[in-house]
Structure 1
Amino acid sequence: MIVILDFGSQYSELIARRIRETQVYSEVLSYRTTPEDLRQLNPKGIILSGGPSSVYDKSAPHCDPEIWNLGIPVLGVCYGMQLMVQQLGGDVERSDRGEYGKASLAIDDPTDLLTNVEDGTTMWMSHGDSVTRLPDGFELLAHTANTSCAAIAHHDKKLYGVQFHPEVVHSIGGLALIRNFVYHICDCEPTWTTAAFVEESIREIRAKVGDKRVLLALSGGVDSSTLAFLLYRAIGEQLTCMFIDQGFMRKLEPERLVKLFREQFHIPVEYVNARDRFLVQIQGVTDPEEKRKRIGHEFIRVFEEESRRLGPFDYLAQGTLYPDVIESA
């Protein structure tokens, strides 16, 4: 596994996707993840994402410096590279001129991280700060016309940094760089696939749930629907999917949703028509935030009542996305 520590970048999940495209499993975690937790996960490599902050700001997110001593290869991307440099004794300063968009990468060391990455290839830049002095033991791998330290490395400790974003499609040699880190530096094997992940997840769910019952709030969106499919394959009739119709979906959409799950996917759905209850809650209310709060509170009330009616349940299943997991810690 490769772990991505998220520092607020819009591209963190994209990095995870690029790793998985190399057929290696990846997982996005908060930058607050402790070295102890990382040791237990035992990843083959760690990637520090970019982020909107400046490393020298008082409120800037910082990882535990002990991460550099874990003996695990680390790749810092943009902000991640600057944080690596700062915490290991180098200097990061505000640039006289920021660099945003495509830039030609001049390679000074074509080995290791930059193996098979063509000199002059295009990489995507997005930064207003730059590394002005490298920490002891680090070497320059590449530069651009505007950035003297575009890629760096401490070869002995397997610590690497790039000022650009190799994960985006605009970076022509980006995937080659990611493959170098994953395969050659972290010694990962291309054995992970989504199909294997599904089968592994099903085994884990069965082991966790046993013969107990699970309740899932089904919204009809991608997250909860995907989880419904996965859970039903794992535990079948032990799963109860509850769909609460609040009256705010498109005309006939609730009916289509329930029919789709019941008749095409063959997954039973408990349909709860609570339209009148929700409409009463927002009658005469014009403030959007107040509407949101009232709808949220009423959903909880309805969900509690219906779960008591359908229960008892041992587990609550929730389909969500990486950003929600990270933000809620």
Structure 2
Amino acid sequence: MDFLKLPILERLQSAQTILLAGAGGGYDIFAGLPLYFALKAQGKTVHLANLSFSSIYASNGKRIGEVNEHVVRVTHETQPELSYFPELYLAQWFWEKRREKVPIYCFDRTGPRPLTAMYQHLVRHLGGVDALVLVDGGTDSLMRGDEPKLGTPEEDLASLLAADALQGVGSKSLVCLGFGIDVFHGVCHHYFLEAVAELTEKNAYLGCWSLLPHLPEVKAFSAAYDYTRKHMQSSIVNSSILAAIEGKFGNWHETTRTEGSELYINPLMGLYWAFDLPAVVERHLFIRELAEHDEWIDLARAIFQRHLNLEKREWKHLPM
């Protein structure tokens, strides 16, 4: 491998058709936009998907798949416009600002078993994909299950299970953006760094690189996010990431949603961290036990109960 090339980029170099999917719901797909624009610039076919917090079945987006396992294809023409629909506004931004018809494929927030079927339906509909990249806005997807707090694990674990079970895909990667953001949800980042070290030992850490404000891919990411937050509620994660990329530091509040809390905006928030997805799943202590859940609420209860009964490791401050 060339010293000047990251393993994740080497992995994607051989893929021509790539599915880029937001793991944690809501705005997560936005964290994948810089990678989307970079891959498109290389002439690759890149499809965007997202586990959605929106009422996607209330829209007229095209249904793909079986009953109760629908993927909804959202475009700039999708109606109605809901109060919370980041995928729709992203599609509208692509059309209004770039004259590009870019559909966003939305998965309903559900349990791992139907979500796996949704992924399989989508891959079949797309005619197959060479690589899947799951994107996490934040880094709590690297928690193994016995940390003091897990952040918001339900959507991440469902997405990891679905992606891991997906058939007919050449490579599966997890990319995280936003180191330090999840402290807002009680995550101890000592354990994220420990996870990176353990995955490094298994040759499953695929590299880390910076998003810089002058890059066209980053400028497009910022523009898409600014357009969307003018139409609906802003994203704490993406607001923090972009503030960090732009050079803000410390207790900087880009959105009123964080007022009353103390933030630590810093340059590490603008780093992409990449991992082999099956290795991340394999490292988790109880994720396999969750695979048969159909409903999101049942998944949430199972995670809560399993975490409650585990002996938790103590909080550790970063010694620096």
TM range (shorter): under 0.3
More strand by share: 1
Of structures 1 and 2, the one scoring higher in RCO (CA 8 A, sep 6+) is: 2
Larger Rg: 1 or 2? Answer: 1
More helix by share: 2
